[in-house]
Amino acid sequence: MAVLRKEAFDLPEGVIYLDGNSLGPLPRGATARAMSVLQKDWGQDLIRAWNTADWMALPAHVGDRIAPLIGAPPGSVAVGDTLSVKVFQALAAALQLRPERRVILSDTGNFPSDLYVADGLVSLLDRGYTVRTTPPEAVAPAITEEVAAVLLTHVDYRTGRLHDMAAITLRAEAAGAAMIWDLAHSTGALPIDLGSAAFAVGCSYKYLNGGPGAPAFLYIRPDLSERITPALQGWLGHAAPFEMTRAYRPAPGVARMRIGTPPVIQLAILDAALDLWDSVDLDALRRASITLSELFIAEVEARCPTLRLASPRDPAARGSQVSFAHPEGYAMVQACIAAGVIGDFRAPDLMRFGFAPLYLDADDVRRAAAILGDVIEREAWRRPEYQTRAKVT
């Protein structure tokens, strides 16, 4: 089944977009939806829109639309806040499930924010917790019976390396540790089977195309949610927020992980972006993504012998992005962007390219590789304007 839906996106003319792993492009349906929320719901209905447009139900509605994309049942996904906040909530909850243990295990390839949040929680709790990190390939044997929670990002943001979710989740289960998967670079990129994992978190502005600042999500395995007392007890995670009682009483199930007022405009945009996903077969998407990334690697290696593939060569061990290393990678990416191929750069030397089969085809990939080859062959990256680093790389 073809997964290409180029016409559903509002991409600028002449741009080949290989950065949907960082910020997905604008789905056409999102603009009309956003305008309607602004002008009709907010503009005309004002505060009445919480009821007339059912704004309060949006987080649960959107959570139920994300659920099938991560292999989760309806009613198990809460939506709101940013991924960093959701990591904090999931980790705090995971520690409650194993109160006698003191080790949080992660890997050295994890995204900095996840590790910063874990460090911050550990110092806040001040109860002798430690955050232990191992190299990604050594995670499974490090899941011992000291470990309370395992916090891992499924697809490495730098190299695209994919953890063996099934094997690691089983190992965590056997050791009695609570497994938390960060699906930031997996959701909308490949089929996901969470197995017995206790928690999963992710964001919606990458492959789901929910727009900059789109809300994050948090999954709790349904049989565990009633055991969790949220660390962030906000009024909208209360069982009856409008009773305004003094005592906090958690909402049933995963809804207790809601905190405060939902970001209505962002949620509406995300809801529109999710329309596209209703008809996407994730297995077909994964096959298309592998075809594109294999083609890109072959074309780039044929043209650019000075670049080193920094991603796993085996497509089964890779997410939906490919990284090449070069000391001048930053300037090379800038020169590619000027020539219409948008990728990005991660310190110290990685050029990252994401492959989203919803709006990329083999022609795009061949042209992108040709442009990168040209930038390197003609040394276009040497121009001074490509050398100065912008605030966001």
Q: Is 111 in the site for ligand PLP (CB under 6 A)?
A: yes
Rounded to 5 degrees, φ, ψ at 279 are: -110, 15
Residue closer to ligand PLP by CB (options 83, 304) is: 83
Region 349-368 residues binding ligand PLP, contact defined as CB under 6 A: none
Q: How far is the CB of 87 from ligand PLP (least distance, A)?
A: 7
Q: How many chain residues interact with ligand PLP (CB under 6 A)?
A: 13
List 33, 86, 98, 206, catalytic entry = 206
Do residues 343 and 352 touch, judged by C-beta distance below 8 A? yes
Residue closer to ligand PLP by CB (options 81, 271) is: 81
Tell me the C-alpha distance between 382 and 152, whole Å: 38
10 Å Cβ neighbour count for 134?
16
Residue closer to ligand PLP by CB (options 155, 337) is: 155
Both tokens assigned to 248? 């906090």
Residue 92 sits at the vertex; the CA angle it makes with 83 and 120, to the nearest 5 degrees, is: 70
199-238 footprint of ligand PLP as x/- string (CB under 6 A): ----x------------x----------------------
Radius of gyration (C-alpha) of the chain in whole angstroms: 22
Rounded to 5 degrees, φ, ψ at 331 are: -65, -35
Q: Which stretch binds ligand PLP (CB under 6 A): 28-36, 80-88, 191-199, 362-370?
A: 80-88
Q: 314 an active-site residue? A: no
113-142 footprint of ligand PLP as x/- string (CB under 6 A): xx----------------------------
Residue closer to ligand PLP by CB (options 232, 370) is: 232
Q: 344 an active-site residue? A: no
Q: Is 153 in the site for ligand PLP (CB under 6 A)?
A: yes
Q: 205 an active-site residue? A: yes
What's the first-to-final CA gap in the chain, in angstroms?
35
Amino acid identity, position 50: W
Tell me the C-alpha distance between 122 and 223, whole Å: 26
List 111, 199, 345, 359, catalytic entry = 111
Reply yes or no: is the peptide bond before residue 25 cis, omega within 30 of 0: no
Residue closer to ligand PLP by CB (options 91, 307) is: 91
Of the residues 70, 184, 371, 375, which one makes contact with ligand PLP according to CB under 6 A = 184
Write out the DSSP string of 216-249.
EEEEE-TTTGGG---SS--GGGBSSGGG--SS--
Q: How far is the CB of 221 from ligand PLP (least distance, A)?
A: 20
Residue 81 sits at the vertex; the CA angle it makes with 121 and 261, to the nearest 5 degrees, is: 120
Q: Which stretch binds ligand PLP (CB under 6 A): 77-85, 140-148, 166-174, 366-374?
A: 77-85
Of the residues 82, 96, 134, 144, which one makes contact with ligand PLP according to CB under 6 A = 82
Q: 81 an active-site residue? A: no
Of the residues 53, 78, 83, 228, which one makes contact with ligand PLP according to CB under 6 A = 83
Residue closer to ligand PLP by CB (options 5, 158) is: 158
Do residues 184 and 157 touch, judged by C-beta distance below 8 A? yes
- What's the per-residue H, E or C state across 287-336? HHHHHHHHHHHHHHHHHCCCCEECCCCCHHHECCEEEEECCCHHHHHHHH
List 41, 114, 352, 364, catalytic entry = 352
Q: Which residue has the tokens 């899941």?
A: 143
Cite the active site residues.
111, 182, 205-206, 352
Where do contacts with ligand PLP occur on this chain (CB under 6 A)? 82-84, 111, 113-114, 153, 157, 182, 184-185, 203, 216
